């Protein structure tokens, strides 16, 4: 009976050993494989990229919000001219795309008109911090088709106004000569 256990033990040990040895011999890794090349064909016409079609003049259609924005391409960069009833500013425009696919234009150099900070992050003991706040510079606009949308002001928890010449919460600038 002891002989029978020894033979079973040796059998299991040899099977287990052969499995380990065979696993150690397989050294191929994922990085050794070359990626497959995927080629697709389409009968669709090429779409003009958003960067190429962003240039133009955008105006607000709201009566009490007289704002225009002209975006032009200068060599490799985009430039803007931002005009309201009180001011005219020029600067660099940067086109970007979020990870979710949303397209944005950032207008560098435009200082927000008011900024009282995000009060949800303030401590109750620090009531004197509002004097040291830096007013943010730069305005982002969501770009969808021929429309730029700017969130102009926040709420009670995050109070700010970007463009005081317009009282709308969301300023929509629509491209001139577009069919909207």
**pLDDT digit string, tens, across residues 13-55:** 667 666 666 655 554 444 444 444 444 444 433 333 544 588 9
Q: Which string of DSSP letters, residue by residue, matches 127-138?
A: -SGGGGPPPPEE
Query: Could you read off the pLDDT of 47-93 as tens digits, one per residue?
Result: 335 445 889 999 999 988 999 999 999 888 999 999 999 999 999 99
Which neighbouring-strand residues pair with 82?
69, 89
In a domain, 80, yes or no: yes
Residue 124 has pLDDT above 80, yes or no: no
In a domain, 64, yes or no: yes
Q: Which band of pLDDT confidence, cut at 50, 70 and 90, is reported for residue 10?
A: low
Q: Which band of pLDDT confidence, cut at 50, 70 and 90, is reported for residue 174?
A: very high
Residue 149 has pLDDT above 70, yes or no: yes
In a domain, 17, yes or no: no
In a domain, 140, yes or no: yes
pLDDT at position 70 is 96
Q: What is the CATH number of the domain that holds 59?
A: 2.40.128
> How far apart are alpha carbons 48 and 39 in whole angstroms?
21
Residue 171 has pLDDT above 80, yes or no: yes
> How far apart are alpha carbons 55 and 77 in whole angstroms?
11
In a domain, 26, yes or no: no
Of residues 48 and 121, more confidently modeled: 121
Residue found under tokens 């001011």: 87
In a domain, 63, yes or no: yes
> How far apart are alpha carbons 92 and 102 in whole angstroms?
20
In a domain, 89, yes or no: yes
Count how many domains the chain has.
Answer: 1
| Domain ranges, residue 142 | 50-120+133-175
What token pair was written down for 57? 């003049």
Residue % of the chain over a pLDDT of 90: 48
Q: Which band of pLDDT confidence, cut at 50, 70 and 90, is reported for residue 162?
A: very high
In a domain, 11, yes or no: no
* Continuous segment of H or E residues that includes residue 150: strand 147-151
- Section 2-9 average pLDDT: 66
For residue 75, give every residue at least 6 positions away whose Cβ sits within 8 Å of its Cβ, in sequence order, or none: none
Residue found under tokens 């033990």: 9
Of residues 122 and 133, more confidently modeled: 133
Give the number of C-alpha atoms closer than 13 A to the C-alpha of residue 154, restricted to the C-beta side: 16
pLDDT at position 117 is 73
């Amino acid at each position: 009976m002891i002989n029978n256990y020894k033979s079973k033990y040796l059998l299991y040990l040899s099977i287990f050993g052969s499995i380990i040895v065979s696993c150690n011999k397989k050294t191929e890794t994922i990085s050794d494989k070359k990626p497959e090349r995927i080629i697709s064909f389409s009968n669709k016409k090429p779409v003009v990229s958003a960067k190429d079609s962003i240039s133009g003049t955008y105006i607000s259609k709201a009566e009490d919000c007289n704002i225009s924005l002209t975006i032009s391409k200068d060599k490799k960069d985009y430039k803007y001219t931002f005009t309201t009833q009180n001011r005219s500013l020029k600067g660099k425009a940067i086109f970007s795309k979020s990870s979710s696919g949303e397209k944005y234009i950032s207008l560098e150099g435009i200082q927000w008109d008011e900024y009282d900070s995000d009060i949800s992050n303030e401590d109750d003991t620090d009531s004197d911090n509002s004097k040291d706040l830096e007013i943010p510079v730069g305005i982002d606009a969501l770009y969808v088709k021929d429309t730029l949308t700017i969130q102009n002001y926040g709420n009670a928890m995050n109070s700010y106004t970007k463009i005081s010449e317009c009282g709308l919460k969301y300023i929509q600038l629509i491209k001139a000569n577009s069919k909207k």
